[in-house]
């Protein structure tokens, strides 16, 4: 019996070794120049994180130059134009190139392990997003070396920035560069939402997911509704700068206040998009160091949802000084006060958890404590500026600068540093220095308060923001000097922290497995150098499985759960149900490829060329980018497997292919189109905004686009949509020939629809440079026609797939997704047609 037992153990070890060797071959990262073709999220997450921190350090240097300039009165360290570029680029980089990207980077890095997934469902999309972020970030940040950086503030208020002759090319760099970067943010949001909903381990129902996953889901959803209004505003802004369409020019019916609405509908939710992910890190750390489950799991989830929801009702508190009606002041002031309630619930949950447990003090908890202290103070000043009478006095003073930094540094940066110290052993297999961690904390904590606490008094004494110098004797002198000293002390702390992170591994002690005795799945990881993520995908029954499920780690390591092997040597991950996490598919993931990088290079080239008005390179680069994306889709998505299903482990056979709502591609399309619809709704909002503020919108002499052609376009689009539904149905029942014919018919009807809609303002002579009504009609028409053209391109893609034998009744994910696109496309055309033709009716 003993010999048999030993033989069984030897066979079991040999089996495990064979499985691990196969997994290693499948998931290994390429070396040499091919390293840059890697698309697995662990590598992309590391690139994302490192690049975000580089931009943070760059923006920090700009801030130090700003503080050096303000240290003494009448300083001439830098000129006024360069100072404007410094504070504009500092704010832009911190908000767009660090605060939001670092959330996405960290989530892409740790979420697969937290969900016990081999990878997230769209690794090439993550890689594409990273390259977009890198190219756009270098383009925007590098502009300062050529004295071409934007100089109108990180919010770019018109009319200061709408005239190209007075604002230079910097505003175009800001608009087009950040529009390109926003592509990366939305791409990451799609990846993260689908990852949380569809890549959980079996048994991890939606009410069992780690709190970090809830926050990721909420924040990624917020990105879908917050970023598109800014994209819509960027379109209007750039159309005015490039083609003189008067969206913000009052002389021709425009209004600069529209930009403030569109910007702050994005801008205030962005504060919570920045804040909530860092609170999510605390939500993982506090239970670990209290050594007990979080107190009030349901309460903190509801509070996070409430914070995200309320954040979209606060935007106008940035506009209290613009002359809003009294009822608007009262509503937005009350909403701004109300958001403190769910925020306070989250903080009290952390306090209750620490009181209920036995807190183990550590470097991450030191930073977490500092974060709570700073953020609570920032929240109190936030309640102050939420009151309209106080805001009228403090608006655009250094008091607001202090409040903003107390909120963001306390609510985002200190928790992020705590997260670095907490997750570094999981990522790198080594521990950071406790001594250096304490030095860095006290330098940063003291330096921050020395820098920004005096700014409250500087602002209350009347020092405005965005002035490059000030005369002596106004009471600002010593306060500004103290703030500058504090800024450099904080910078010294940041350098100590950076040194602790980048110093050689040989100087850092090796980390034991799960050094903090945490209860969540990311700490299952043993050797960080192993490329496969998790050895086998477990069955989860509790919120803290490492604490509650006996022998879980050993069973995972021994491959006793799902996907213990890669017999076909393909990258695979498990797809589960949205609510109950029942296994529904083994998803084949595409391998390493340079296509995402090339797609980002050419799409980015189109944006960059447009900045300099190089129209031929703009078009050529954009067209090449589209073809590269089509090649990426052809080779990397909707792959047809060699067999219908496979043994996923534990005797469970799962399909290798899925389409419709069961597939991750369908969910990605749906989520993307929700964001797209939000951008479209923002343009429609602009149309009705002008109608609301102008008694003569459209002007009395306006011709309008007529009724017949827009309604004809709507009817043709509905015909194209019906043909798409019929094509999907005929293909599903095995009549591929009729399906192909209906696809062609749908494309023809869609083309006729786009032509009719485009002809409506063209034939009636609407001139977009003469009046904002004409310009708004044109921008709605162009947005819609572009979407029709994209839909036609997708239809031709499906036709090509069908002719190549890759679109069949069993393998119809492309047709399912394109039909879903046309649901949204038809709504867009019909709404545009009704708005421009019937509201208001112009003869």
385-394 confidence digits (pLDDT tens) = 999 999 999 9
Question: Stretch 784-793: mean pLDDT, rounded?
Answer: 97
The two tokens of residue 532 are 């496969």
Burial of 174 (0-12, 13-18, 19+ CB in 10 A): buried
Does 526 have pLDDT greater than 70?
no
730-762 confidence digits (pLDDT tens) = 999 999 899 999 999 999 999 999 999 999 999
Q: Model confidence at 813, in pLDDT bands (50, 70, 90)? A: very high
Cβ within 8 Å of residue 202, ≥6 positions away: 537, 538, 539, 540, 562, 574, 576, 581, 582, 583
223-270 confidence digits (pLDDT tens) = 999 999 999 999 999 999 999 999 999 999 999 999 999 999 999 999
**Nearest CA to 706 among 766, 767, 784?**
766
Q: Model confidence at 19, in pLDDT bands (50, 70, 90)? A: confident
Q: Model confidence at 467, in pLDDT bands (50, 70, 90)? A: very high
Question: Stretch 674-683: mean pLDDT, rounded?
Answer: 96
**Nearest CA to 486 among 450, 433, 524?**
450
**Nearest CA to 180 among 243, 135, 126, 150?**
135
What is the 8-class DSSP label of residue 413? I
The two tokens of residue 396 are 């655009």
684-723 confidence digits (pLDDT tens) = 999 999 999 988 888 888 888 999 999 999 999 999 999 9
Share of the chain above pLDDT 90, in %: 79
Question: Stretch 117-121: mean pLDDT, rounded?
Answer: 91
Tally of CB atoms within 10 A around 433: 19
Q: What is 4-49 written as a DSSP string?
A: HHHHHHHHHHHHHHHHHHHHHHHHPPP-GGGGGG---HHHHHHHHH
CA triplet 450, 481, 436: central angle to 5 degrees? 40
- What's the CA gap between 95 and 413, in Å, rounded? 12
Model pLDDT, residue 317: 87
Q: What is 233-252 written as a DSSP string?
A: HHHHHHHHHHH---TT-GGG
What is the 8-class DSSP label of residue 643? S
The two tokens of residue 577 are 């149900």
412-438 confidence digits (pLDDT tens) = 999 999 999 999 998 888 999 999 999
33-47, 343-357, 680-694: range with lowest mean pLDDT = 33-47
Model pLDDT, residue 695: 86
Does 671 have pLDDT greater than 60?
yes
Would residue 792 be called left, alpha or beta, if left means φ above 0 and alpha means ψ between -120 and 50 degrees? Answer: alpha
Q: Is residue 510 within 8 Å of 523, Cβ to Cβ?
A: no
- What's the CA gap between 66 and 580, in Å, rounded? 53
Percent helix / strand / coil, the chain, rounded to 5: 70, 5, 25
Q: Model confidence at 842, in pLDDT bands (50, 70, 90)? A: low
Q: Model confidence at 37, in pLDDT bands (50, 70, 90)? A: confident
Q: What is 245-279 written as a DSSP string?
A: --TT-GGGT--HHHHHHHHHHHHHHHHHHHHHHHH
Question: Stretch 588-600: mean pLDDT, rounded?
Answer: 92
Does 56 have pLDDT greater than 90?
yes
Model pLDDT, residue 28: 82
What Cα–Cα distance (Å) separates residue 823 from each residue in 286, 793, 830?
Answer: 44, 16, 11
What Cα–Cα distance (Å) separates residue 424 from each residue in 48, 103, 115, 431?
Answer: 15, 16, 18, 7
Across the chain, mean pLDDT equals 92
Burial of 115 (0-12, 13-18, 19+ CB in 10 A): buried
- What's the CA gap between 435 and 429, in Å, rounded? 19
- What's the CA gap between 114 and 205, in Å, rounded? 14
Model pLDDT, residue 324: 86
Model pLDDT, residue 701: 83
| pTM, full prediction | 0.94
CA triplet 458, 460, 464: central angle to 5 degrees? 65
Does 843 have pLDDT greater than 60?
no
């Amino acid at each position: 019996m003993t010999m048999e037992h030993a033989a069984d153990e030897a066979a079991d070890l040999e089996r495990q070794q064979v499985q691990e060797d196969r997994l290693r071959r499948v998931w290994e990262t390429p070396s040499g120049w091919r390293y840059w073709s890697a698309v697995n999220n662990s590598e992309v997450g590391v690139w994302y994180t490192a690049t975000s921190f580089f931009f943070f350090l760059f923006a920090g240097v700009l801030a130090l130059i700003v503080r050096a300039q303000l240290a003494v009165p009448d300083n001439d360290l830098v000129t006024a134009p360069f100072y404007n570029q410094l504070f504009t680029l500092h704010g832009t980089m911190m908000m767009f190139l660090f605060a939001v990207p670092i959330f996405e980077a960290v989530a892409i890095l740790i979420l697969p392990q937290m969900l016990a997934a081999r990878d997230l469902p769209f690794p090439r999309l993550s890689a594409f997003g990273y390259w977009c972020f890198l190219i756009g970030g270098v383009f925007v940040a590098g502009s300062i070396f050529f004295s071409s950086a934007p100089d109108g503030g990180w919010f770019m208020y018109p009319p200061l920035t709408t005239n190209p002759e007075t604002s230079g090319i910097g505003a175009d760099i800001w608009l087009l560069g950040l529009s390109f970067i926003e592509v990366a943010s939305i791409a990451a949001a799609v990846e993260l939402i689908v990852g949380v909903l569809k890549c959980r381990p079996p048994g991890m129902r939606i009410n069992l997911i780690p709190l970090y996953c809830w926050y990721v889901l909420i924040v990624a959803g917020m990105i879908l509704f917050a970023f598109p209004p800014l994209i819509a505003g960027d379109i209007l802004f750039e159309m005015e700068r490039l083609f003189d369409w008067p969206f913000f020019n009052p002389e021709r019916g425009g209004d600069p206040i529209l930009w403030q609405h569109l910007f702050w509908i994005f801008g205030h939710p962005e504060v919570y998009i920045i804040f909530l992910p860092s609170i999510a890190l605390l939500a993982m750390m506090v239970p670990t160091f209290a050594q007990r489950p979080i107190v009030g799991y349901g309460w903190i989830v509801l509070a996070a949802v409430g914070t995200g929801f309320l954040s979209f009702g606060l935007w106008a508190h940035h506009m209290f000084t613009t002359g809003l009606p009294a009822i608007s002041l009262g509503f937005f002031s009350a909403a701004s006060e109300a958001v403190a309630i769910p925020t306070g619930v989250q903080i009290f949950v952390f306090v209750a958890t620490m009181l209920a447990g036995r807190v183990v003090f550590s470097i991450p908890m030191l930073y977490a404590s500092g974060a709570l202290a700073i953020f609570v103070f920032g929240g109190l000043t936030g309640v102050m500026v939420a009151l309209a009478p106080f805001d009228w006095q403090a608006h655009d003073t250094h008091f607001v600068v202090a409040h903003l930094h107390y909120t963001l540094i306390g609510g985002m940066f200190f928790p992020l540093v705590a997260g670095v110290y907490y997750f570094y052993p999981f990522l790198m297999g080594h521990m950071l220095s406790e001594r250096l961690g304490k030095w860095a904390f006290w330098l940063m904590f003291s330096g921050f308060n020395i820098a920004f606490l005096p700014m409250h008094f500087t602002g209350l004494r009347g020092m405005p923001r965005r002035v490059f110098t000030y005369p002596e004797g106004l009471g600002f002198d010593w306060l500004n000097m103290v703030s500058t000293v504090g800024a450099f002390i904080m910078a010294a702390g940041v350098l100590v922290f950076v040194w602790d992170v980048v110093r050689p591994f040989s100087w850092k002690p090796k980390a034991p497995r799960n050094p903090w005795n945490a209860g969540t799945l990311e700490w299952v990881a043993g050797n960080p150098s192993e490329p496969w993520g998790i050895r086998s995908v477990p069955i989860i029954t509790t919120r803290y499985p490492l604490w509650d499920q006996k022998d879980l780690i050993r069973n995972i390591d021994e491959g006793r759960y799902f996907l213990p092997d890669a017999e076909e040597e393909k990258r695979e991950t498990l797809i589960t149900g949205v609510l109950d996490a029942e296994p529904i598919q083994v998803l084949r993931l595409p391998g390493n490829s340079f296509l995402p990088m090339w797609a980002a290079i050419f799409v980015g080239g189109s944006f960059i060329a447009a900045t300099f008005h190089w129209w031929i390179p703009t078009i050529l680069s954009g067209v090449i980018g589209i073809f590269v994306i089509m090649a990426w889709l052809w080779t990397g998505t909707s792959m047809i497997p060699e067999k219908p299903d496979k043994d996923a482990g534990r005797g469970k056979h799962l399909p290798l292919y899925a389409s419709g709502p069961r597939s991750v591609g369908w969910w990605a399309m749906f989520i993307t189109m929700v964001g797209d619809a939000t951008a479209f709704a923002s343009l429609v909002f602009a149309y009705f905004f002008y109608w609301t503020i102008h008694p003569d919108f459209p002007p009395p002499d306006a011709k309008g686009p007529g009724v017949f052609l827009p309604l004809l376009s709507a009817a043709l689009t509905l015909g194209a949509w019906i043909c798409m539904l019929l094509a999907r149905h005929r293909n599903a029942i095995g009549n591929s020939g009729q399906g192909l014919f209906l696809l062609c018919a749908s494309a023809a009807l869609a083309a006729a629809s786009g032509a009719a809609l485009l002809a409506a303002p063209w034939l009636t002579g609407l001139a977009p440079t003469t009046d904002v009504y004409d310009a708004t009609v044109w921008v709605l028409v162009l947005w819609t026609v572009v979407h029709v053209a994209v839909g036609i391109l997708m239809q031709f893609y499906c036709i090509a797939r069908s002719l190549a034998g890759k679109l069949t009744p069993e393998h119809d994910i492309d047709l399912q997704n394109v039909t879903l696109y046309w649901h949204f496309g038809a709504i867009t055309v019909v709404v545009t047609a009704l708005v421009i033709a019937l509201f208001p009716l112009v003869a």
